[in-house]
Structure 1
Protein backbone atom coordinates (compact mmCIF):
# COMPACT_ATOMS: atom_id res chain seq x y z
CA UNK A 1 0.00 0.00 0.00
CA UNK A 2 1.33 3.43 -0.91
CA UNK A 3 1.09 6.49 1.28
CA UNK A 4 -0.72 9.46 -0.22
CA UNK A 5 1.25 12.63 -0.91
CA UNK A 6 -0.28 16.09 -0.65
CA UNK A 7 -0.04 18.42 -3.64
CA UNK A 8 -1.23 22.02 -3.65
CA UNK A 9 -3.59 22.81 -6.54
CA UNK A 10 -4.63 26.27 -7.68
CA UNK A 11 -8.07 26.80 -9.17
CA UNK A 12 -8.15 28.27 -12.66
CA UNK A 13 -10.97 29.68 -14.73
CA UNK A 14 -9.17 30.00 -18.07
CA UNK A 15 -8.72 27.06 -20.43
CA UNK A 16 -7.69 26.47 -24.02
CA UNK A 17 -5.06 28.75 -25.51
CA UNK A 18 -5.02 30.94 -22.40
CA UNK A 19 -3.66 28.00 -20.41
CA UNK A 20 -0.35 28.33 -22.28
CA UNK A 21 0.34 31.36 -20.11
CA UNK A 22 0.69 28.98 -17.17
CA UNK A 23 4.01 27.78 -18.57
CA UNK A 24 5.45 31.24 -18.00
CA UNK A 25 4.27 31.05 -14.40
CA UNK A 26 5.91 27.64 -13.91
CA UNK A 27 2.50 25.99 -13.55
CA UNK A 28 1.05 22.84 -15.16
CA UNK A 29 -2.61 22.82 -16.30
CA UNK A 30 -4.63 19.96 -14.84
CA UNK A 31 -8.19 18.78 -14.25
CA UNK A 32 -9.90 16.78 -11.51
CA UNK A 33 -13.16 14.83 -11.86
CA UNK A 34 -14.89 11.76 -10.46
CA UNK A 35 -16.60 10.77 -7.18
CA UNK A 36 -19.60 12.91 -8.06
CA UNK A 37 -17.52 16.04 -8.70
CA UNK A 38 -17.94 18.20 -11.76
CA UNK A 39 -14.76 18.47 -13.83
CA UNK A 40 -12.69 21.30 -12.37
CA UNK A 41 -9.71 23.00 -14.02
CA UNK A 42 -6.71 23.43 -11.73
CA UNK A 43 -3.01 24.27 -11.96
CA UNK A 44 -0.02 22.62 -10.27
CA UNK A 45 3.36 23.99 -9.32
CA UNK A 46 5.69 22.42 -11.89
CA UNK A 47 8.65 21.97 -9.55
CA UNK A 48 6.49 20.35 -6.85
CA UNK A 49 4.80 17.96 -9.28
CA UNK A 50 8.02 16.93 -11.03
CA UNK A 51 9.60 16.28 -7.63
CA UNK A 52 6.60 14.11 -6.76
CA UNK A 53 6.98 12.12 -10.00
CA UNK A 54 10.66 11.47 -9.28
CA UNK A 55 9.63 9.46 -6.23
CA UNK A 56 6.57 7.73 -7.68
CA UNK A 57 6.02 5.36 -10.56
CA UNK A 58 3.32 5.56 -13.23
CA UNK A 59 -0.21 6.49 -12.21
CA UNK A 60 -0.69 4.00 -9.37
CA UNK A 61 -1.16 5.24 -5.84
CA UNK A 62 -2.99 8.10 -4.18
CA UNK A 63 -2.43 11.83 -3.91
CA UNK A 64 -4.16 14.41 -1.75
CA UNK A 65 -5.00 17.55 -3.68
CA UNK A 66 -5.13 20.62 -1.44
CA UNK A 67 -7.52 22.80 -3.43
CA UNK A 68 -7.82 26.50 -2.82
CA UNK A 69 -11.00 27.30 -0.92
CA UNK A 70 -11.60 23.74 0.29
CA UNK A 71 -10.84 22.80 3.89
CA UNK A 72 -10.24 19.09 3.36
CA UNK A 73 -7.85 17.71 0.72
CA UNK A 74 -9.35 15.63 -2.08
CA UNK A 75 -8.19 12.02 -2.39
CA UNK A 76 -7.41 11.31 -6.03
CA UNK A 77 -5.51 9.08 -8.43
CA UNK A 78 -3.33 10.13 -11.31
CA UNK A 79 -5.45 9.20 -14.31
CA UNK A 80 -3.34 10.50 -17.18
CA UNK A 81 -0.14 12.48 -17.68
CA UNK A 82 0.47 14.12 -21.05
CA UNK A 83 4.08 14.87 -21.92
CA UNK A 84 5.79 16.61 -24.81
CA UNK A 85 7.11 14.08 -27.37
CA UNK A 86 10.07 16.39 -28.02
CA UNK A 87 11.10 17.85 -24.66
CA UNK A 88 9.53 15.23 -22.40
CA UNK A 89 8.13 17.86 -20.01
CA UNK A 90 4.65 17.48 -18.51
CA UNK A 91 1.94 19.29 -20.49
CA UNK A 92 -1.26 18.31 -18.67
CA UNK A 93 -2.42 16.09 -15.81
CA UNK A 94 -5.77 14.37 -15.20
CA UNK A 95 -6.78 13.46 -11.63
CA UNK A 96 -9.63 11.09 -10.76
CA UNK A 97 -11.22 11.78 -7.37
CA UNK A 98 -12.00 8.62 -5.40
CA UNK A 99 -14.03 7.47 -2.44
CA UNK A 100 -12.04 5.42 0.03
CA UNK A 101 -14.85 2.86 0.40
CA UNK A 102 -15.20 2.14 -3.33
CA UNK A 103 -12.85 -0.07 -5.33
CA UNK A 104 -11.06 1.35 -8.35
CA UNK A 105 -9.22 -0.14 -11.31
CA UNK A 106 -5.84 1.10 -12.45
CA UNK A 107 -2.75 -0.14 -14.33
CA UNK A 108 0.29 -0.89 -12.19
CA UNK A 109 3.87 -1.54 -13.28
CA UNK A 110 5.75 -4.81 -12.81
CA UNK A 111 9.20 -4.96 -11.21
CA UNK A 112 11.14 -8.10 -12.13
CA UNK A 113 13.48 -9.30 -9.40
CA UNK A 114 15.93 -12.18 -9.07
CA UNK A 115 18.49 -13.80 -11.36
CA UNK A 116 16.67 -16.42 -13.42
CA UNK A 117 18.34 -19.84 -13.55
CA UNK A 118 17.67 -19.96 -17.29
CA UNK A 119 19.48 -16.66 -17.83
CA UNK A 120 22.48 -17.95 -15.87
CA UNK A 121 22.49 -20.94 -18.25
CA UNK A 122 22.75 -18.60 -21.24
CA UNK A 123 19.09 -17.89 -21.95
CA UNK A 124 17.38 -14.55 -22.47
CA UNK A 125 14.42 -13.23 -20.48
CA UNK A 126 11.76 -11.79 -22.78
CA UNK A 127 9.19 -9.35 -21.36
CA UNK A 128 5.67 -9.81 -22.67
CA UNK A 129 3.95 -7.53 -20.13
CA UNK A 130 5.33 -4.59 -18.18
CA UNK A 131 2.10 -3.72 -16.37
CA UNK A 132 -1.22 -5.28 -15.38
CA UNK A 133 -4.59 -3.85 -14.39
CA UNK A 134 -5.60 -4.27 -10.77
CA UNK A 135 -8.71 -3.62 -8.68
CA UNK A 136 -8.58 -2.57 -5.03
CA UNK A 137 -9.76 -0.01 -2.52
CA UNK A 138 -7.83 3.26 -2.97
CA UNK A 139 -6.05 2.80 0.34
CA UNK A 140 -4.72 -0.61 -0.73
CA UNK A 141 -3.27 0.36 -4.11
CA UNK A 142 0.38 -0.72 -4.51
CA UNK A 143 2.75 1.49 -6.46
CA UNK A 144 4.08 -1.57 -8.31
CA UNK A 145 4.06 -5.38 -8.16
CA UNK A 146 7.19 -7.48 -7.81
CA UNK A 147 7.62 -10.54 -10.03
CA UNK A 148 10.26 -13.02 -8.88
CA UNK A 149 11.84 -14.81 -11.85
CA UNK A 150 14.61 -16.60 -9.90
CA UNK A 151 13.22 -20.12 -10.44
CA UNK A 152 12.64 -19.81 -14.20
CA UNK A 153 14.61 -22.37 -16.22
CA UNK A 154 15.29 -22.38 -19.97
CA UNK A 155 11.94 -22.60 -21.77
CA UNK A 156 9.92 -21.63 -18.69
CA UNK A 157 7.39 -18.81 -18.65
CA UNK A 158 5.52 -16.91 -15.95
CA UNK A 159 1.83 -16.08 -16.22
CA UNK A 160 -0.39 -13.39 -14.77
CA UNK A 161 -1.81 -15.94 -12.32
CA UNK A 162 1.71 -16.48 -10.92
CA UNK A 163 2.06 -12.86 -9.75
CA UNK A 164 1.80 -12.50 -5.98
CA UNK A 165 -0.39 -9.55 -4.98
CA UNK A 166 -0.97 -7.88 -1.60
CA UNK A 167 -4.09 -8.66 0.39
CA UNK A 168 -7.14 -6.87 -0.97
CA UNK A 169 -5.67 -6.49 -4.47
CA UNK A 170 -6.95 -8.42 -7.49
CA UNK A 171 -5.49 -8.59 -10.99
CA UNK A 172 -8.33 -8.41 -13.50
CA UNK A 173 -6.30 -9.27 -16.61
CA UNK A 174 -6.41 -12.73 -18.23
CA UNK A 175 -4.78 -15.06 -15.66
CA UNK A 176 -3.32 -17.16 -18.49
CA UNK A 177 -1.57 -14.19 -20.07
CA UNK A 178 2.20 -14.60 -20.46
CA UNK A 179 4.20 -12.07 -18.45
CA UNK A 180 7.65 -13.22 -19.54
CA UNK A 181 9.65 -16.27 -20.62
CA UNK A 182 13.19 -17.62 -20.86
CA UNK A 183 14.31 -18.48 -24.38
CA UNK A 184 17.55 -19.70 -25.90
CA UNK A 185 19.58 -16.96 -27.58
CA UNK A 186 19.49 -16.82 -31.37
CA UNK A 187 22.78 -18.12 -32.73
CA UNK A 188 24.53 -15.85 -35.23
CA UNK A 189 25.76 -17.57 -38.43
CA UNK A 190 29.51 -18.15 -38.71
CA UNK A 191 31.67 -16.54 -41.41
CA UNK A 192 31.86 -19.90 -43.22
CA UNK A 193 28.05 -20.19 -43.27
CA UNK A 194 27.69 -16.65 -44.57
CA UNK A 195 30.25 -17.28 -47.32
CA UNK A 196 28.53 -20.52 -48.37
CA UNK A 197 25.15 -18.79 -48.51
CA UNK A 198 26.59 -16.00 -50.66
CA UNK A 199 27.92 -18.51 -53.21
CA UNK A 200 24.49 -20.09 -53.57
CA UNK A 201 22.79 -16.81 -54.42
CA UNK A 202 22.38 -16.33 -58.17
CA UNK A 203 22.61 -12.81 -59.61
CA UNK A 204 19.23 -11.17 -60.20
CA UNK A 205 18.36 -10.32 -63.81
CA UNK A 206 16.29 -7.16 -64.17
CA UNK A 207 14.17 -6.87 -67.30
CA UNK A 208 13.78 -9.23 -70.22
CA UNK A 209 16.76 -10.48 -72.22
CA UNK A 210 16.83 -9.71 -75.94
CA UNK A 211 17.36 -12.44 -78.50
CA UNK A 212 20.11 -11.95 -81.07
Structure 2
Protein backbone atom coordinates (compact mmCIF):
# COMPACT_ATOMS: atom_id res chain seq x y z
CA UNK A 1 0.00 0.00 0.00
CA UNK A 2 1.47 3.33 -1.02
CA UNK A 3 0.70 6.96 -0.35
CA UNK A 4 -1.47 8.65 2.25
CA UNK A 5 -4.93 10.14 1.84
CA UNK A 6 -6.19 12.87 4.14
CA UNK A 7 -9.78 14.05 4.25
CA UNK A 8 -10.87 17.01 6.39
CA UNK A 9 -14.04 16.79 8.45
CA UNK A 10 -15.99 18.99 10.84
CA UNK A 11 -18.01 17.78 13.83
CA UNK A 12 -21.73 18.37 13.27
CA UNK A 13 -24.13 18.90 16.14
CA UNK A 14 -27.41 18.75 14.21
CA UNK A 15 -28.88 15.39 13.22
CA UNK A 16 -31.82 14.08 11.26
CA UNK A 17 -33.02 14.30 7.67
CA UNK A 18 -33.67 18.04 7.83
CA UNK A 19 -30.15 18.78 9.04
CA UNK A 20 -28.68 16.52 6.35
CA UNK A 21 -30.66 18.30 3.63
CA UNK A 22 -29.39 21.67 4.85
CA UNK A 23 -25.82 20.40 4.74
CA UNK A 24 -26.22 19.18 1.17
CA UNK A 25 -27.62 22.55 0.10
CA UNK A 26 -24.40 24.04 1.49
CA UNK A 27 -22.37 21.63 -0.68
CA UNK A 28 -21.41 19.47 2.28
CA UNK A 29 -21.76 15.72 2.85
CA UNK A 30 -23.03 14.19 6.12
CA UNK A 31 -20.73 11.53 7.54
CA UNK A 32 -20.18 9.41 10.62
CA UNK A 33 -17.09 7.79 12.11
CA UNK A 34 -17.37 4.87 14.52
CA UNK A 35 -15.47 1.90 15.90
CA UNK A 36 -12.57 1.51 18.28
CA UNK A 37 -13.01 2.60 21.89
CA UNK A 38 -14.50 6.02 21.12
CA UNK A 39 -18.17 6.80 20.59
CA UNK A 40 -19.59 7.34 17.09
CA UNK A 41 -19.18 10.93 15.93
CA UNK A 42 -21.27 12.78 13.36
CA UNK A 43 -19.25 14.74 10.81
CA UNK A 44 -19.60 16.80 7.67
CA UNK A 45 -17.23 16.94 4.69
CA UNK A 46 -16.78 19.41 1.88
CA UNK A 47 -18.48 17.92 -1.18
CA UNK A 48 -15.87 19.21 -3.63
CA UNK A 49 -12.99 17.77 -1.61
CA UNK A 50 -14.70 14.39 -1.25
CA UNK A 51 -15.59 14.15 -4.94
CA UNK A 52 -11.99 14.89 -5.89
CA UNK A 53 -10.70 12.23 -3.49
CA UNK A 54 -13.17 9.64 -4.80
CA UNK A 55 -11.80 10.08 -8.32
CA UNK A 56 -8.76 8.10 -7.17
CA UNK A 57 -9.53 4.37 -7.03
CA UNK A 58 -6.98 3.89 -4.24
CA UNK A 59 -9.00 6.15 -1.92
CA UNK A 60 -11.56 3.38 -1.46
CA UNK A 61 -9.03 0.75 -0.35
CA UNK A 62 -6.65 2.83 1.77
CA UNK A 63 -6.47 3.50 5.47
CA UNK A 64 -7.33 7.20 5.49
CA UNK A 65 -6.34 10.07 7.73
CA UNK A 66 -9.63 11.68 8.74
CA UNK A 67 -8.63 15.07 10.12
CA UNK A 68 -11.19 16.41 12.62
CA UNK A 69 -9.97 19.75 13.89
CA UNK A 70 -6.59 19.14 15.52
CA UNK A 71 -7.24 15.41 15.80
CA UNK A 72 -6.51 12.80 13.12
CA UNK A 73 -8.29 9.44 13.08
CA UNK A 74 -7.14 6.42 11.08
CA UNK A 75 -10.17 5.00 9.28
CA UNK A 76 -11.46 3.12 6.25
CA UNK A 77 -14.58 3.73 4.17
CA UNK A 78 -17.30 1.30 5.21
CA UNK A 79 -20.23 2.68 3.24
CA UNK A 80 -20.77 5.34 0.61
CA UNK A 81 -24.26 6.38 -0.46
CA UNK A 82 -24.74 8.22 -3.75
CA UNK A 83 -27.73 9.93 -5.31
CA UNK A 84 -29.36 7.32 -7.59
CA UNK A 85 -29.70 9.74 -10.51
CA UNK A 86 -26.68 12.04 -10.26
CA UNK A 87 -24.15 9.84 -8.47
CA UNK A 88 -23.32 12.69 -6.08
CA UNK A 89 -22.13 11.44 -2.64
CA UNK A 90 -24.98 11.70 -0.12
CA UNK A 91 -23.48 10.12 3.01
CA UNK A 92 -20.29 8.31 4.00
CA UNK A 93 -19.43 6.00 6.90
CA UNK A 94 -15.90 5.66 8.26
CA UNK A 95 -14.67 2.96 10.65
CA UNK A 96 -11.75 3.69 12.96
CA UNK A 97 -8.85 1.25 12.68
CA UNK A 98 -5.42 0.65 14.14
CA UNK A 99 -2.54 -1.16 12.45
CA UNK A 100 -3.61 -4.45 14.03
CA UNK A 101 -7.35 -4.12 13.35
CA UNK A 102 -8.63 -7.08 11.31
CA UNK A 103 -10.88 -5.79 8.57
CA UNK A 104 -12.95 -7.05 5.64
CA UNK A 105 -12.69 -4.89 2.55
CA UNK A 106 -13.44 -5.10 -1.17
CA UNK A 107 -10.27 -4.57 -3.20
CA UNK A 108 -10.09 -3.93 -6.98
CA UNK A 109 -8.40 -6.36 -9.36
CA UNK A 110 -5.88 -5.00 -11.86
CA UNK A 111 -5.44 -7.21 -14.92
CA UNK A 112 -2.04 -6.94 -16.62
CA UNK A 113 -0.54 -8.19 -19.90
CA UNK A 114 -3.92 -8.40 -21.61
CA UNK A 115 -2.27 -7.27 -24.84
CA UNK A 116 -0.29 -10.54 -24.89
CA UNK A 117 -3.52 -12.53 -25.03
CA UNK A 118 -5.06 -10.14 -27.56
CA UNK A 119 -2.17 -10.79 -29.98
CA UNK A 120 -3.15 -14.47 -30.10
CA UNK A 121 -6.62 -13.52 -31.32
CA UNK A 122 -8.34 -14.74 -28.14
CA UNK A 123 -10.77 -12.72 -26.04
CA UNK A 124 -10.49 -12.02 -22.32
CA UNK A 125 -13.65 -12.22 -20.22
CA UNK A 126 -13.53 -10.54 -16.81
CA UNK A 127 -15.74 -12.44 -14.39
CA UNK A 128 -14.85 -10.30 -11.35
CA UNK A 129 -13.55 -6.75 -10.97
CA UNK A 130 -12.92 -6.87 -7.22
CA UNK A 131 -12.57 -9.34 -4.34
CA UNK A 132 -13.28 -9.17 -0.62
CA UNK A 133 -10.22 -9.66 1.56
CA UNK A 134 -9.50 -10.17 5.24
CA UNK A 135 -6.32 -8.70 6.70
CA UNK A 136 -4.94 -6.32 9.27
CA UNK A 137 -5.31 -2.65 8.42
CA UNK A 138 -1.53 -2.44 8.14
CA UNK A 139 -1.53 -5.08 5.36
CA UNK A 140 -4.47 -3.72 3.36
CA UNK A 141 -3.48 -3.82 -0.34
CA UNK A 142 -4.38 -1.02 -2.73
CA UNK A 143 -5.25 -3.59 -5.41
CA UNK A 144 -4.51 -7.18 -6.39
CA UNK A 145 -2.69 -7.78 -9.65
CA UNK A 146 -3.80 -10.56 -12.01
CA UNK A 147 -1.28 -11.52 -14.70
CA UNK A 148 -3.00 -13.09 -17.73
CA UNK A 149 0.09 -13.29 -19.97
CA UNK A 150 0.28 -17.10 -19.95
CA UNK A 151 -3.42 -17.72 -20.56
CA UNK A 152 -4.64 -19.36 -23.77
CA UNK A 153 -8.12 -20.04 -25.14
CA UNK A 154 -10.00 -22.15 -22.61
CA UNK A 155 -7.87 -21.03 -19.65
CA UNK A 156 -9.40 -19.77 -16.41
CA UNK A 157 -7.92 -18.13 -13.32
CA UNK A 158 -9.77 -18.89 -10.08
CA UNK A 159 -9.68 -17.10 -6.73
CA UNK A 160 -7.28 -19.71 -5.33
CA UNK A 161 -4.76 -18.85 -8.05
CA UNK A 162 -4.48 -15.16 -7.20
CA UNK A 163 -1.12 -13.95 -5.91
CA UNK A 164 -2.05 -12.41 -2.57
CA UNK A 165 0.18 -10.18 -0.42
CA UNK A 166 1.42 -11.61 2.85
CA UNK A 167 -1.20 -11.59 5.59
CA UNK A 168 -4.12 -11.26 3.15
CA UNK A 169 -6.80 -13.93 2.65
CA UNK A 170 -9.96 -14.05 0.54
CA UNK A 171 -13.30 -14.09 2.33
CA UNK A 172 -14.88 -16.44 -0.24
CA UNK A 173 -12.10 -19.03 0.04
CA UNK A 174 -12.48 -19.02 3.82
CA UNK A 175 -15.97 -20.46 3.19
CA UNK A 176 -14.61 -23.60 1.49
CA UNK A 177 -13.43 -25.00 -1.84
CA UNK A 178 -16.88 -24.72 -3.42
CA UNK A 179 -16.47 -20.93 -3.31
CA UNK A 180 -13.35 -20.96 -5.50
CA UNK A 181 -15.01 -18.89 -8.22
CA UNK A 182 -13.46 -17.89 -11.56
CA UNK A 183 -11.97 -14.40 -11.86
CA UNK A 184 -11.05 -14.23 -15.54
CA UNK A 185 -11.24 -16.56 -18.53
CA UNK A 186 -10.02 -16.61 -22.11
CA UNK A 187 -12.13 -17.75 -25.05
CA UNK A 188 -11.35 -18.22 -28.71
CA UNK A 189 -12.17 -15.26 -30.92
CA UNK A 190 -14.36 -17.61 -32.97
CA UNK A 191 -16.36 -18.79 -29.96
CA UNK A 192 -18.91 -16.00 -30.17
CA UNK A 193 -19.32 -16.38 -33.92
CA UNK A 194 -19.74 -20.16 -33.62
CA UNK A 195 -22.44 -19.77 -30.97
CA UNK A 196 -24.30 -17.20 -33.08
CA UNK A 197 -24.12 -19.51 -36.11
CA UNK A 198 -25.50 -22.44 -34.10
CA UNK A 199 -28.38 -20.30 -32.82
CA UNK A 200 -29.19 -19.20 -36.38
CA UNK A 201 -29.19 -22.79 -37.61
CA UNK A 202 -31.45 -23.91 -34.76
CA UNK A 203 -33.88 -21.07 -35.45
CA UNK A 204 -34.11 -22.00 -39.14
CA UNK A 205 -34.87 -25.68 -38.46
TM-score after normalising by structure 1: 0.82
Tell me how large the CA RMSD over aligned residues is.
2.4
**1:39-70 CA distance string (max 9 Å, x none):** 221000111111111223463111111113xx
CA distance, structure 2, for counterparts of residue 102 and residue 195 of structure 1: 59
> C-alpha deviations, 1:69-118, integer Å up to 9, x for none?
xx430000011111112111111111011122222121101011112655
Q: Distance in 1 between matches of 2:95 and 2:86?
A: 26
Residues 157 and 20 (structure 1), Cα distance of their counterparts in 2 relative to 1, 3 Å cut: same
- Aligned equivalent of 2:87: 88
Deviation at 1:169, TM superposition (A): 2.3
Q: How many residues align?
A: 195
Identify which range, 16-25 or 115-124, moves more after superposition: 115-124
Look up the SS of the partner of 1:134 in the other structure: strand
- Are 1:172 and 2:171 an aligned pair? yes
| In structure 2, distance between residues paired with 1:147 and 1:94 | 30
The DSSP-based 3-state class of the residue aligned with 1:59 is helix
- Could you tell me how far 1:119 is from its partner in structure 2? 4.0
1:27 alignment counterpart: 28
Q: How does 1:47-126 map to 2 (within 5 A)?
A: 47-57=48-58, 59-68=60-69, 71-115=70-114, 118-126=117-125
CA contact (8 A) 2:33 2:95 kept: yes
Aligned to 1:8: 8
TM-score (norm 2): 0.84
**Structure 2 portions without partners, runs of 5+:** none
Q: Which of 113-122 and 101-110 deviates more?
A: 113-122
Q: 1:123 to 1:37 in 2, by over 3 A?
A: same
Q: Secondary structure at the match of 2:53?
A: helix
What SS does the corresponding residue of 1:38 show, helix, strand or coil? coil
Q: SS of 1:49's equivalent?
A: helix
Q: Report the 3-state secondary structure (helix = DSSP H, G, I; strand = E; otherwise coil) of the residue aligned with 1:186.
A: helix
Q: Indicate the structure (1 or 2) with the bigger Cα radius of gyration.
A: 1
**Which piece of structure 1 moves more, 96-105 or 72-81?**
96-105
* Alignment partner, residue 126 of structure 2: 127
